Amino acid sequence: MASLVEIVPSSVVVQVLRGVFALPEPVKRLIAGKPVRLDGHRLSVDAQLLLTMMRLEGEQRLGADTVEEARQGLARSTVYLPKVPARPVATRKVDAGGVPARLYTPKGLADGSPLLVFYHGGGWVVGDIDTHDTVCRYLAVHAEVRVLTVEYRLAPEHPYPAAPDDALTAYEYAVAHAGEMGADPSAIAVGGDSAGGNLAAVVGVLAERRPDFALLFYPATDMSVRRRSREVFGEGFYLTDEDMVWCSDHYCRVERRAEVKASPLLAEDLSGFPATYLVTAGFDPLRDEGEAFARRLEEFAVPVALRRQEDLIHGFANTWSLGGRFREAMSEAAGALRTGLYAGPRDRS
């Protein structure tokens, strides 16, 4: 069956979607249905409404029958979310040590700003720098930073450890060439969502020159075991347990999933990991492993702010332009990044 965006012009779909999310909350509740309560949390009406709209459109999960269909599905969903921050952001291509990347620079940002090296999500199989363009623009504008987003190689064409190898290569390039990009070499963060959060965490563990801050959105941190949140939220909240199995099987062989480049939670020593803002979603199968990583960081005296957005679902960073709870959560994350980079230690001499 054809999807809504294949039948109706995208401009119409966008206007309808914006109109729906701009409705008063009681009206949104009528559309979304009865409140959803699970594991002691109540799903926000914005998240529930988004899931309702996704069911109407036919896009209910990240995975698909084929890799190509999954990639097309995620790319198509960006048609819904074209809004960008009002402040203009210049972009240019960067060859980050052989890894394609894109540099975002907000208009008027002074030279010597901090830099965020960002890795997109998508289960190491789908997604690209275009699917996460609005995320990078938002963080660049609202955290007052330059953002270098990385086009790491995807599985199954390039299975593990291609993605973490590219992540490390791009980060090392950023460290060596920060000044050329107009950034401060002593204020470099890593960040990412989901699989991208996994790669950012790997860089935080393994990079010779550790990042100055880490911004982790609902990161995948341990491929070796199943945790309770996968059982509780593994169906009906966008990212499913089936999706996670599908992505993992395309990405990494079972016998290698306990390696640090795949599961940074299992690193023997996390001392030296940068100060971190780690945010999870309450209705997310990845919730528990993200929070387990935060607790392990605390065991090694790493400054970490763990924030559970208890009423949201996986992927909320990409939906900030819908407003409401999604934008509130992203605003908090951008504020944490700005504080961590501008107020943190800057002297690397």
- How confident is the model at residue 348, as a pLDDT? 56
State which amino acid sits at residue 208: E
Indicate if 243 belongs to the active site: no
Both 44 and 100 in a single domain? no
Both 134 and 275 in a single domain? yes
Of the residues 46, 78, 110, which one is the last residue of a structural domain? 78
Both 229 and 174 in a single domain? yes
Question: Does a structural domain hold residue 348?
Answer: no
Both 204 and 59 in a single domain? no
The tens digit of pLDDT for each residue in 125-139 reads 999 999 999 999 999
Question: Does a structural domain hold residue 195?
Answer: yes
With CA atoms as reference, report the closest residue to 333 among 31, 325, 108, 149: 325
Contact present, 199 and 192 (Cβ < 8 Å): yes
Of the residues 78, 110, 132, which one is the last residue of a structural domain? 78
How does the average pLDDT of the chain come out, rounded?
Answer: 92
Both 44 and 124 in a single domain? no
The tens digit of pLDDT for each residue in 47-82 reads 999 998 888 766 556 777 789 888 888 777 776 676
Question: Does a structural domain hold residue 140?
Answer: yes
Indicate if 284 belongs to the active site: yes
The tens digit of pLDDT for each residue in 203-229 reads 999 999 999 999 999 999 999 999 999
- How confident is the model at residue 164, as a pLDDT? 98
Tokens of 5: 């965006």
Q: Among 3-12, 234-243, 317-326, 338-347, name the one with the lowest average pLDDT.
A: 3-12
Please tell me the total count of domains within the chain.
Answer: 2
pTM of the model: 0.94
If one counts every other C-beta atom within 10 angstroms of the C-beta of residue 168, the result is 21
Which of 194, 248, 263, 321 is the catalytic position?
Answer: 194
> Which residues are within 8 A (CB) of 311 and not within 5 positions of it... i.e. 6 or more apart?
41, 42, 43, 44, 47, 282, 283, 325
Question: Does a structural domain hold residue 347?
Answer: no
Domain residues for 242? 87-342
Question: Does a structural domain hold residue 212?
Answer: yes
- How confident is the model at residue 40, as a pLDDT? 96
Which of 193, 284, 288, 311 is the catalytic position?
Answer: 284
Query: 1 falls in which pLDDT band (50, 70, 90)?
Result: very low
Question: Does a structural domain hold residue 349?
Answer: no
Mean pLDDT calculated for residue range 145-160: 98
Which of 120, 288, 314, 321 is the catalytic position?
Answer: 314
Both 198 and 318 in a single domain? yes
**153 pairs with which residues across the strands?**
none
Q: Which helix (H) or strand (E) holds 281?
A: strand 276-283
The tens digit of pLDDT for each residue in 21-48 reads 889 999 999 999 999 999 999 999 999 9
- How confident is the model at residue 80, as a pLDDT? 66
What is the DSSP secondary structure assignment for residue 44, as one 8-state letter?
-
Both 135 and 39 in a single domain? no
Both 95 and 240 in a single domain? yes
- The CATH number of whichever domain residue 126 belongs to comes to 3.40.50.1820
Question: Does a structural domain hold residue 213?
Answer: yes
Q: How far apart are CA 249 and CA 208, in angstroms?
A: 30
Both 18 and 45 in a single domain? yes
Both 180 and 306 in a single domain? yes
Both 60 and 134 in a single domain? no
Mean pLDDT calculated for residue range 315-327: 93
pLDDT higher than threshold 50 for residue 2: no
pLDDT higher than threshold 50 for residue 281: yes
- How confident is the model at residue 154, as a pLDDT? 98
Of the residues 78, 96, 124, which one is the last residue of a structural domain? 78
pLDDT higher than threshold 80 for residue 191: yes
Both 286 and 168 in a single domain? yes
Mean pLDDT calculated for residue range 269-292: 98
